[in-house]
Amino acid sequence: MPINDILLDAATRHQVFLLRYGGATANQVTAILDEAATDLAKRIKGKLARLSPAAREASLQPGVKRLQAILTDVRAQRRDIRRAMVVATRGDLVKLANIEVDIAERRLTEAIGVDLGNFRPSPEVLRSIVTDEAMRGKRIGEWFTQLSDQHRSRLEGAVRLGLIEGRTTPQIIRDLRAATEITKRSATTLVRTSVNHVANRARESLYEANKDVVKGMRWSATLDGRTSEICISRDGVVTPVGDAKQSELDGEPLAPSGARPPAHPNCRSIMSPITRSWRELSGKDLKPGRGAARIDDIFDKRLKAKGFKPGQISKIKRNTRASMNGQVPVKQTYPEWLKRQPAGFQDEVLGKTKGKLFRDGGLAVDKFVDAQSGRPFTLDQLRVKNEQAFMRADLPVPEVE
């Protein structure tokens, strides 16, 4: 298989686990919001309990101390929430940036066959991706500021409206929790989007540092029923790295200038690397510091150091030359891609039983969900609808009464 297809496969597999990482980080943020909601409810409940109906009505007047005291609690908590969310995510995102570079570097080495002595972006560059770079127009910290401002506004609105409509204290507390649920959904989206942004940008920084070997990147969308129109339209477009030209990328359509995932909230698209061909690398000097100027010399030197004999080295180089063709990976659907993945990975994505149905039962992935609602079928529903597939996969089927 061509090296660039191998790299795309590996990046696509990794994205599945990256989505789960984003979910785990999002859970930390929603836990902060839940804890804050419980604390705020307790404080507001205490203040409202001391208000008579007449005092409640009077508290709606501008400048009244009791109402201001409640709103002050809300505003003070907004600052605490924003700080806690940023602290909870920033460390994870910086750690993620370093992990992504480690993994991408290892994949390049494994795909090419020898360690080319890849250059790495500095820790400062990776940290700046999290703290300073814009993600869809704003820095990640600024997105959290906007989120916490919107949360404060919802909470204030719930308190004011509750007092105006004469709602009971339990009803106002329920409204506050409902407002928090809205913020939790927004926070989950923000964290998942931030994880995608940091992971893609960290890998891109590695490719830029190794632009004598990597000549471009290919946009790869997750092709399923939830893929957005913008990502479907960009699937397969390419972006040159360094001074590479479109003609070096098989003439494939270029991505819009500066366009990178995430293209929208909850975007799952990735950019996979496109390495130069063996012929391209053989015809030019590599960056100083790789241990040799030419890729042939690097292969000879590194493989010889590992104990390989001349005949073995020649065979390895022939195989690498053939697979290192520099071509952009071909487009494929998600089911086509999933079919080529190891059984263990298919089970991770689909579950063990559905994985076996997919492999041995000949059941297409679109048969696992209801076409109208998009909801997954239960195994019992699948057994009724696809008895033959269960039999082919040697799985138990319902007994006919």
In this structure, are 132 and 273 located in the same domain? no
Q: Scanning the structure block, which residue is given the tokens 């059941």?
A: 363
In this structure, are 252 and 145 located in the same domain? no
Structure tokens at 158: 């719930």
* Per-residue confidence (pLDDT) for residue 282, from 0 to 100: 84
Residues 135 and 190: beta-carbon distance below 8 Å = no
In this structure, are 131 and 29 located in the same domain? yes
Q: Label residue 234 by pLDDT band (50, 70, 90).
A: confident
Other C-beta atoms closer than 10 Å to the C-beta of 238 total 23
In this structure, are 354 and 265 located in the same domain? no
Ranges 51-65, 131-145, 294-308, 353-367, most confident: 131-145
Residue 335, in any domain of the structure:
no
Residues 178 and 79: beta-carbon distance below 8 Å = no
In this structure, are 152 and 13 located in the same domain? yes
- In sequence order, what E strands does 159-262 have? 214-220, 238-240
User: How many separate domains does the chain show?
Assistant: 3
In this structure, are 246 and 314 located in the same domain? yes
Residue 197, in any domain of the structure:
yes
**pLDDT tens for residues 88-103?**
999 999 999 999 999 9
Alpha helices, DSSP H only, in 275-386?
A: 278-282, 295-305, 310-323, 334-339, 343-350, 352-359, 379-385
Structure tokens at 348: 């991770």
In this structure, are 92 and 149 located in the same domain? yes
Residue 153, in any domain of the structure:
yes
In this structure, are 204 and 100 located in the same domain? yes
Nearest 10 degrees: Cα torsion 180, 182, 188, 194 = -110
Residues 101, 108: Cα–Cα separation, whole Å: 11
- From 156, 173, 208, the end of a domain falls on 208
Residue 43, in any domain of the structure:
yes
- From 183, 208, 233, the end of a domain falls on 208
Q: Label residue 55 by pLDDT band (50, 70, 90).
A: low
Residue 336, in any domain of the structure:
no
User: pLDDT at residue 399 above 60?
Assistant: no
**pLDDT tens for residues 10-48?**
888 888 889 889 999 999 999 999 999 999 888 888 877
Residue 32 — left, alpha, or beta (φ > 0 → left; ψ -120 to 50 → alpha)? alpha
In this structure, are 150 and 85 located in the same domain? yes
- The whole-angstrom distance between residue 212's C-alpha and the CA centroid of its chain comes to 27
Range of the domain at 279: 211-323
**pLDDT tens for residues 323-358?**
888 887 876 666 777 888 889 888 887 889 999 999
* Per-residue confidence (pLDDT) for residue 88, from 0 to 100: 92
Residue 328, in any domain of the structure:
no
Residue 338, in any domain of the structure:
no
- From 295, 323, 351, the end of a domain falls on 323
What residues form DSSP beta bridges with 273? 217
Residues 242, 305: Cα–Cα separation, whole Å: 31
Residue 398, in any domain of the structure:
no
Calculate the alpha carbon distances from 55 to 9, 58, 83, 96, 164 in Å.
66, 5, 34, 52, 12
User: pTM for this structure?
Assistant: 0.81
